[in-house]
């Protein structure tokens, strides 16, 4: 259904009963066409509409809080001590305060993606017109906006249709933020319900953003064979002027590529990027190059390779301008959300801006017109490059030794390092002429620069580490599959049954940032492990980059080893952060296309279906932003578990199930209406792992679902047991909880598992047609 705004103006009308002049009629919306799907019970849900579903999940997966601090400092009543049973001046308790903090983080993330979406829709309309049809995949996509259909009950067809969706998102984020005010919400479970609502809104905003840019910019459209793009610092041709784009909002990068094409300069200037702007730039032009994830900003800026730096919004180091000045690199900010304290020059002639930046009279400017920013960036890069190449920013081995000799081994740098890297040892060895230890730190350094701020001798620690690894950097030449966008309907048809029945063991989504010691390597190793085991692996954003920075014995990256299709053994890069909506959308489309469930405003039923039948798990392996908190929250409301690394505990709470509480694991069997024990499948909704090995064990276990067939459960148990034994050297103790009948037992392990079951007092349980909803809401059982 498409709804259009209609305006009518009449200068003069003879209506028979009189003459009318200057008549203006405006009709808010007219419905054009019809949508066969019946409208569900919850279109455009408000904060409390899905509260019952949220509380159903939260009663099973109860919040476990890990306070950073015992105080509430949000208002001037405080600071309030909330230890023990104490309450704040407003009456708030420690659990409620922790839940409120989680909600604030989720709101920040949802607001960031939704604001980004608003800018992209406005930009796309200006570029392509309000009536530009949404086209995420041509004839390959019939369900083109599964998240929007599910949440809003709308079927958007043009760019202008997305504006109404964003109006809803913005109103909900405002209401959610209002709930965090002093003297508003006070119950921790209701705060947690609102966290889930924020995550759902975030998924809508992300889907709007990617639909808009795919449709207006001609990105790959659900293409499993999207082209490979260059990845890594070693791919940059430093004989050409180099432009670096950083952030998540692609219009300035698009303008740079367009200006180069317009001036026939495409082969003469390098367009490189960090974070999701670079992923989206390669979706627009495969000639663009991705340097790396957000943690690579310091090392690349300090290298002196970029001749101009262009930043937009999100995940940009707030000291990026200071670093650019130190490297002598002209700097352009292009977002009103990230002005960096620079003078705005948007209305000035391009010639004047180019002259100021090229001469060094002005170090940086704000240009809020993407096209002007693109022109200025290209012209400045070409102007300054010859002189900049005469200056080397890379420290020589002698200078490394000299600066390292200033180290007093006070260990403050190591204490400040989030990964506890042995920096003093590396400094001592470097001072004695051995750079190998410093070079080895490069692989595990996340580029935060905290070591330098802690150093009492003002040693540029991070720069020394990067300089010591100069040879490694030259060899950083990888490839990444360009973000493909949505999953095709035919792909869903092919795998929907095997996923729901358990014959494809699961869908594993690696998302977020890999800012953790060996984080990038570990994400790549986990993705390859699960792809080899015939799971469907999806990825996006910085995680997708990290997967590409890994080679097997034959020198191939995972994107060259495995197909890009949504199939068993595939590694699917959907695109930038906002493309995460396509991963959630794929699970939703399984319910729509395979199970023929209505999506339209029917959230609880679809989430219940996904939770009980679709073996999907998200993995966010590293230190995360507020956006990552919102992304995770959206998956939780769909009933999809998320595993995080050790830094994930800084989210302040987990959502943990109690496998030993049998009463928590009953579902309603839709065939009989009876309550049936289904086992702790999945056991947790949000859980942290200390090691890569522990994470893989958790993923395999959390892919189990009550609806698994005996063949599917046997396959999932095989993977779970194998990974557990490799990590722990023994059989898992909880096997009896996951074997429902003898047919669930993997054939190769039948003897050993049968002995375990007999010793535990195990009894067979029926395999239900499961739901957590009341029967009158769910209706009769379906696939």
In 352-400, at which residue ranges do the beta strands (DSSP E only) sit? Answer: 364-366
CB neighbour class for 313 (10 Å; exposed up to 12, middle 13-18, buried from 19): buried
**Contact call for residues 547 and 541 (beta carbons, < 8 A):** no
Q: What pTM did the predictor assign?
A: 0.93
Instruction: Calculate the dihedral angle through the C-alpha atoms of 766, 767, 769, 775, rounding to the nearest 10 degrees.
Output: 30
pLDDT of res. 67: 87
Structure tokens at 380: 């400045």
Report residue 231 as tokens.
């990845």
Matching residue, tokens 């620690």: 461
Residue 721 confidence class, pLDDT cut points 50, 70, 90: very high
Q: CA gyration radius for the chain?
A: 27
Axis-axis angle for helices 423-431, 397-404 (nearest 10): 120
| 497: nearest Cα among 564, 568, 574, 562 | 568
Q: How many CB atoms lie under 10 A from the CB of residue 368?
A: 16
Over 50: is that where the pLDDT of 31 sits? Answer: no
Which tokens in the block code for residue 104?
């604030």
Percentage of the chain with pLDDT > 70?
A: 94
Is the pLDDT at 143 greater than 70? The verdict is yes
For residue 102, what are its two tokens?
């989680």
Strand partners, 290: 231, 273
Q: Which residue has the tokens 């999940």?
A: 57
The answer to whether the beta carbons of residues 373 and 330 sit under 8 Å apart is no
Contacts of 174 (CB under 8 A, 6+ apart): none
| Alpha-carbon span 295 to 607, nearest angstrom | 34
Mention every residue, 6+ apart, whose C-beta is less than 8 A from residue 749. 717, 718, 721
Average pLDDT, the chain: 92
What is the pLDDT at residue 782?
40
- Give the C-alpha separation, 6 to 475, whole Å: 59
* Tens of pLDDT, residues 256-286: 999 999 999 999 999 999 999 999 999 999 8
Token digits of residue 733: 């103790």
Sheet with 675-677: list strands edge to edge. 675-677, 666-669, 770-771
Q: Ramachandran region of residue 411, left (φ > 0), alpha (ψ -120 to 50) or beta?
A: left
Determine which of 251-255, 288-292, 395-399 has the lowest per-residue pLDDT on average. 395-399
Instruction: Give yes or no for a contact between 583 and 574, defined as CB atoms under 8 angstroms apart.
Output: yes
What pLDDT is stored for residue 21 in this prediction? 64
User: Tell me: the pLDDT tens digits for 450-474?
Assistant: 999 999 999 999 999 999 998 888 8
pLDDT at 778: 40
Count of H-run helices and E-run strands, the chain: 30, 23
Q: Residues near 154 by Cβ (< 8 Å), separated by ≥ 6? A: 1, 43, 145, 148, 161, 164, 165
Rounded Cα gap, residues 431 and 655, in angstroms? 48
Bridge partners, residue 655, by sequence: 63, 686
Q: Tokens representing 319? A: 């000291």
Q: How far apart are CA 649 and CA 644, in angstroms?
A: 8
Interacting residues of 722 by C-beta distance below 8 A, sequence separation 6+: none
Residue matched to tokens 């092919």: 494
The model's pLDDT over 582-610, given as tens digits with 9 standing for 90+, comes to 999 999 999 999 999 999 999 999 999 99
Neighbours of 261 (CB within 10 A): 12
Is residue 299 over pLDDT 80? yes
User: Are the beta carbons of 341 and 313 closer than 8 angstroms?
Assistant: no
Distances (CA, A) of 665 to 185, 428, 522, 720: 29, 56, 33, 20
- DSSP letter string over 4-73? EEEEEEEEEEE-SS-EEEEEEEEEEEEEES--SSPP-S-SS--TTTTHHHHHHHHHHSEEEE--S-SEE-
pLDDT at 239 over 70: yes
Q: Is 475 left (phi over 0), alpha (psi -120 to 50) or beta?
A: alpha
Cα gap 669→711, rounded to integer Å: 20
d(CA 316, CA 337): 11
552 to each of 409, 514, 557, 767, how far by Cα in Å? 38, 20, 7, 41
Q: 333-354: string of b/e by CB count within 10 Å (b at 16+)?
A: bbbeebebebeebeeeebeebb
**Looking up tokens 């792992």, which residue turns up?**
689
243 pLDDT above the threshold of 70: yes
Kindly report the backbone phi and psi dihedral angles of residue 419, in degrees, each rounded to the nearest multiple of 5, phi listed first.
-110, 10
Q: Which of 69-78, 254-263, 709-718, 724-733 has the weakest average pLDDT?
A: 69-78
The predicted structure's pLDDT at residue 775: 58
SS3 state of residue 415: helix
Q: Tokens 């960096």 map to which residue?
A: 340
Report residue 346's pLDDT band, with 50, 70 and 90 as the boundaries. very high
What count of other Cβ atoms lies within 10 Å of the Cβ of residue 729? 7
Rounded-to-integer distance, Cα 207 and Cα 585, Å: 9
Could you give the strand order of the β-sheet that contains 228-231, starting from the edge strand earlier in sequence?
A: 364-366, 331-333, 308-311, 242-246, 270-274, 289-292, 228-231, 478-481
Q: Nearest CA to 63 among 687, 648, 623?
A: 687
Report pLDDT digits (tens) over 606-637.
Answer: 999 999 999 999 999 877 789 999 999 999 99
**Torsion angle of the four alpha carbons 113, 109, 220, 300, in this order, in degrees rounded to the nearest 10:** 110
Instruction: Tell me the mean pLDDT in the region 173-179.
Output: 98
Q: What share of the chain has pLDDT > 90, as a percent? A: 84
CA distance 317 to 304: 17
Q: Secondary structure of the chain: what % helix, strand, coil (to 5)?
A: 45, 15, 40
Q: Is 340 left (phi over 0), alpha (psi -120 to 50) or beta?
A: left
Q: Residue 229: phi, psi to the nearest 5? A: -120, 155
The encoded tokens of residue 590 equal 């399984």
Residues in the chain: 783
Between CA 284 and CA 483 the distance in angstroms is 10
* Per-residue pLDDT reduced to its tens digit, 461-508: 999 999 999 888 888 999 999 999 999 999 999 999 999 988 899 999
Nearest to 649 by CA among 685, 614, 683, 687: 687
């Amino acid at each position: 259904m498409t709804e259009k705004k209609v305006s009518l103006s009449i200068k003069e009308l003879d209506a028979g009963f009189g003459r009318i002049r200057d008549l203006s009629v405006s009709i808010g919306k007219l419905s054009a066409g019809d949508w066969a799907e019946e409208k569900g019970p919850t279109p455009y849900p408000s904060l409390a509409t899905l509260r019952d579903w949220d509380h159903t999940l939260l009663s099973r997966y109860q919040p476990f809080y890990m306070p950073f601090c015992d105080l509430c400092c949000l208002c001037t009543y405080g600071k309030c001590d909330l230890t023990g049973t104490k309450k704040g001046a407003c009456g708030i308790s420690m659990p409620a305060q922790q839940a409120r903090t989680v909600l604030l983080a989720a709101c920040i993330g949802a607001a960031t993606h939704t604001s980004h979406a608003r800018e992209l829709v406005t930009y796309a309309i200006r570029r392509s017109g309000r009536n530009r049809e949404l086209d995420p995949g041509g004839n390959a996509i019939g369900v083109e906006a599964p998240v929007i259909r599910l949440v809003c009950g709308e079927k958007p067809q043009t760019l202008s249709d997305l504006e109404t969706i964003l109006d809803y998102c913005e109103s909900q984020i405002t209401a959610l933020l209002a709930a965090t005010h002093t003297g508003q919400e006070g119950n921790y479970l209701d705060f947690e319900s609102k966290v889930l609502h924020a995550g759902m809104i975030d998924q809508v905003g992300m889907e709007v953003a990617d639909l808009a840019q795919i449709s207006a910019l001609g990105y790959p459209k659900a293409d499993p064979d999207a082209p490979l793009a260059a990845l890594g610092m070693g791919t940059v041709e430093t004989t050409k002027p180099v432009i670096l784009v950083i952030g998540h909002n692609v219009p300035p990068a698009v303008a740079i590529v367009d200006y180069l094409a317009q001036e026939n300069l495409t082969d003469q200037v390098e367009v490189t990027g960090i974070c999701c702007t670079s992923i989206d730039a390669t979706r627009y032009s495969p000639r663009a190059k991705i340097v790396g994830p957000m943690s690579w900003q310091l090392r690349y800026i300090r290298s002196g390779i970029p001749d101009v730096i262009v930043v937009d919004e999100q995940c940009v180091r707030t000291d990026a301008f200071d670093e650019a000045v130190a490297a002598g690199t002209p700097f352009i900010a292009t977002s009103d959300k990230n002005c960096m304290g620079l003078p705005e020059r948007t209305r000035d002639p391009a010639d004047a801006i180019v002259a100021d930046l090229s001469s060094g009279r002005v170090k940086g400017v704000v240009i809020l017109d993407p096209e002007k920013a693109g022109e200025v960036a290209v012209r400045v890069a070409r102007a300054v490059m010859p002189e900049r190449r005469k200056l080397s920013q890379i420290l020589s081995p002698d200078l490394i030794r000299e600066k390292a000799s200033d180290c007093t081994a006070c260990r403050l740098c190591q204490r400040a390092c989030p990964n506890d890297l042995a920096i003093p040892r590396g400094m001592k060895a470097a001072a004695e002429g051995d750079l190998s230890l410093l070079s080895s730190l490069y692989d595990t350094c996340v580029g935060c620069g905290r070591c330098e701020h802690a150093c009492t001798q003002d040693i540029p620690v991070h720069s020394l580490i990067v300089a010591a690894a100069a040879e490694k950097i030259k060899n950083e030449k990888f490839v990444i599959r360009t973000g493909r966008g949505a999953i095709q309907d035919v792909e869903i048809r092919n795998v929907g049954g095997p996923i729901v029945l358990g014959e494809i063991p699961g869908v594993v989504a690696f998302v977020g940032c890999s800012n953790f010691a060996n984080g990038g390597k570990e994400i790549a190793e986990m993705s390859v492990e699960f792809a080899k085991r015939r799971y469907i692996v999806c990825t996006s954003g910085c995680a997708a980059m990290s997967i590409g920075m890994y080679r097997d014995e034959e020198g191939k990256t995972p994107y060259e080893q495995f197909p890009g299709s949504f199939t068993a053994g595939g590694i699917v890069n959907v695109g930038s952060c906002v493309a995460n909506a396509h991963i959630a959308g794929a699970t939703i489309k399984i319910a729509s296309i395979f199970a023929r469930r209505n999506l339209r405003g029917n959230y609880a039923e679809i989430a219940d279906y996904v939770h009980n039948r679709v073996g999907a798990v998200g993995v966010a392996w590293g230190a995360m932003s507020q956006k990552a908190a919102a992304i995770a929250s959206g998956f939780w409301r769909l009933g999809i578990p998320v595993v995080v690394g050790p830094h994930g505990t800084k989210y302040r709470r987990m959502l943990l199930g109690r496998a030993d509480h049998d009463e928590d694991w009953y579902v309603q069997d839709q065939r009989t209406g009876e309550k049936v024990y289904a086992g702790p499948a999945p056991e947790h909704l949000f859980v942290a792992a200390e090691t890569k090995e522990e994470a893989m064990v958790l993923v395999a276990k959390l892919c189990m679902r009550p609806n698994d067939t005996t063949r599917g459960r046997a396959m999932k148990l095989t993977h779970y047991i194998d990974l557990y034994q490799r990590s722990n050297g023994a059989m898992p103790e909880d096997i009896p909880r996951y074997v429902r009948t003898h047919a669930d037992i993997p054939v190769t392990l039948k003897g050993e598992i049968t002995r375990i079951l007999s010793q535990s007092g195990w009894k067979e349980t029926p395999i239900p047609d499961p739901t957590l909803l009341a029967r009158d809401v769910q209706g009769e059982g379906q696939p």
